[in-house]
Amino acid sequence: MLNIEKYAAIDIGSNAIRLLIATVTEMGERPPRFKKTSLVRVPIRLGADVFLEGKISEKNFKRMVDAMNAFHLLIKTHNVIKFRACATSAMREAENGVEVAQKIKELTGVDIEIIDGDIEATIIASTDLRDLIDSERVFLYVDVGGGSTEFTVFAEGNVVASKSFKLGTVRILNDMVRENSWDEVRDWIVNYTKKYESVNVIGSGGNINSIYSTSGKKIGRPLSYFFLANYYEKLKSYTYHERIYELEMNPDRADVIIPATKIYLSAMKWSRAKNMYVPKIGLADGIVKSLYNEKLTSGPKLF
């Protein structure tokens, strides 16, 4: 018997806010299939507010209210049975983050959960990331966001170590990264990967997804360190305006993609990785998967 349900996830990041609507298809005892039905991205750069001023501005608060109202309507129109909204680094650090979340719930009906880096990493780990990680290889998972980057080392199919660092693209662009932050990340990666002969990197985030889409690689094939290093030099050879026009990048992608690529390259260098896999998964995918897993134990619950 075929059963089809829709779930939704709202990811409120430091660079953008995303709505993912996914269709889950069940057929008898076969494994469920997850398909991205709709993905909407709104470039509300909350990190630019928070990392410089310490709080979310009135202008961006109003934009968030508009976005949440629109997302809520889309969720209802798609007949989604359950959704979850999670906010990460920017709202976590904003002095008015909790207040903004409460007001948005009152005005839009969307209940925003402000999560820490550990919960974020756990949610992402519930995705199909497990299908890529096997017991015979070692992986360094790198999820680059606007406010922070999450690193997780997997060996023998298990998590060896996981840590979130305040090393994000929007933070870097606004010179809000401490001088020794790069050293701390390097020392952590070296410490947890040095005993392994071979390490592969798994890259996650909008920037590496964008790079992968333009690479011409077949799905499942990794990016090499050599390719990424050359692409990084290419990016730097263009001005911001040239990246928008010549490379056809969105304005809110054209600036953050350079610090993001630097983080990925650094992670590969410090872990001695030659290849990076890009499964195109992230927090929103993890939220959908976690909602489905909750349904298996408690049954569907309408919002």
Domains of the chain by residue range: 2-118+284-298, 132-280
| Global confidence as pTM | 0.86
The class that CATH gives domain 132-280 is alpha beta
Tell me, what's the pLDDT at 129? Answer: 67
pLDDT tens digit at each of 303 positions of the chain:
899 999 999 999 999 999 999 999 999 889 899 999 999 999 999 998 999 899 999 999 999 999 999 999 999 999 999 999 999 999 999 999 999 999 999 999 999 999 987 788 778 766 766 667 766 889 999 999 999 998 999 998 888 998 889 999 999 998 888 889 999 999 999 999 999 999 999 999 999 999 999 999 988 899 999 999 999 999 999 999 999 999 999 999 999 999 999 999 999 999 999 999 998 888 899 999 999 988 877 654 444
Tell me, what's the pLDDT at 282? Answer: 85
CATH architecture of the domain with residue range 2-118+284-298: 2-Layer Sandwich (3.30)
pLDDT tens for 51-100 read: 989 999 999 999 999 999 999 999 999 999 999 999 999 999 999 999 99
> Residue by residue, what is the 3-state secondary structure of the chain?
CEEEEEEEEEEECCCCEEEEEEEEEEECCCCCEEEEEEEEEECCCHHHHHHHHCCCCHHHHHHHHHHHHHHHHHHHHCCCCEEEEEECHHHHHCCCHHHHHHHHHHHHCCCEEECCHHHHHHHHHCCCHHHHCCCCCEEEEEEECCCCEEEEEEECCEEEEEEEECCCHHHHHCCCCCCCHHHHHHHHHHHHHCCCCCCEEEEECHHHHHHHHHHCCCCCCCEEHHHHHHHHHHHHHCCHHHHHHCCCCCHHHHCCHHHHHHHHHHHHHHHCCCEEECCCCCHHHHHHHHHHHHHHHHCCCCC
Tell me, what's the pLDDT at 300? Answer: 46
